[in-house]
């Protein structure tokens, strides 16, 4: 075996588990998401320590042209009738895009332009989502198991949450066995 061969990090596709490298995990709990869900009373009644999603990012060099790789694990759950979702963001550097890959579970990717035009893409194991520049993005878990999605994005992109103070223009609620999309 050639000792010059570098062993890279490993992704278990079926679970989204990353291993074999420096890993930074950020957990977002219910308490970290005030004003995100439509039913504020239901949000207050929830367990504030409940983990809504974890993001695992491989430690890697930062700079112009460098890429980050990470996996989001979004738990199944609801606040009132609204499904668990990520906070969602524009990139600070608006012209920077991103790619998401569905790994497990089922859900939706909500995409919204700066003009407020929104659309949804179905996220399933194997789905590929090209997030264009100037487009905010949020994951929503409409299923009964954790939704895991791999993401690759420019390290210079940054996150801008403040630009979405008014929220997204679409919300997804549980309805029977499926979901319902509501505007506003």
- The site for Fe ion (CB under 5 A) is made up of 98
Least Å distance, CB 81 to Fe ion, is 27
> Is the CB of residue 158 less than 8 Å from the CB of residue 152?
no
Q: Which residues, 6 or more positions from 141, have their beta carbon under 8 angstroms from its beta carbon? A: 74, 75, 76, 77, 83, 84, 85, 105, 106, 107, 147
Record the tokens describing residue 3, joined without a space. 């000792």
Least Å distance, CB 137 to Fe ion, is 6
Measured from the CB atom, is 20 or 132 closer to Fe ion? 132
Measured from the CB atom, is 46 or 157 closer to Fe ion? 157
Quickly tell me which residue has 């491989």 as its tokens.
58
Give the largest Cα separation in the chain, rounded. Answer: 61
Least Å distance, CB 19 to Fe ion, is 23
Measured from the CB atom, is 43 or 74 closer to Fe ion? 74
Measured from the CB atom, is 51 or 92 closer to Fe ion? 92
Residue nearest to Fe ion (CB): 98
């Amino acid at each position: 075996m050639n000792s010059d061969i570098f062993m890279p990090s490993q992704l278990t596709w079926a679970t989204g588990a990353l291993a074999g490298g420096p890993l930074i995990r950020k957990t977002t709990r219910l308490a970290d998401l005030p004003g995100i869900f439509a039913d504020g009373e239901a949000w207050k009644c929830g367990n504030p320590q409940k983990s809504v999603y974890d993001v695992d990012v491989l430690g890697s060099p930062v700079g112009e042209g460098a890429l980050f790789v990470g996996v989001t694990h979004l738990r199944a759950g609801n606040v009132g009738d609204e499904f668990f979702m990520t906070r969602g963001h524009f990139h600070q550097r608006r012209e920077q895009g991103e790619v998401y890959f569905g790994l497990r579970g089922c859900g939706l990717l909500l995409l919204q332009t700066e003009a407020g035009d929104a659309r949804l893409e179905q996220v399933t194991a194997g789905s590929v989502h090209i997030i264009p520049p100037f487009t905010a993005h949020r994951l929503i878990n409409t299923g009964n198991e954790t939704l895991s999605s791999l993401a690759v994005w420019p390290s210079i992109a940054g996150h801008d949450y403040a630009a979405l103070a008014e929220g997204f223009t679409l919300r997804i609620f549980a309805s029977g066995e499926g979901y319902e999309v509501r505007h506003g």
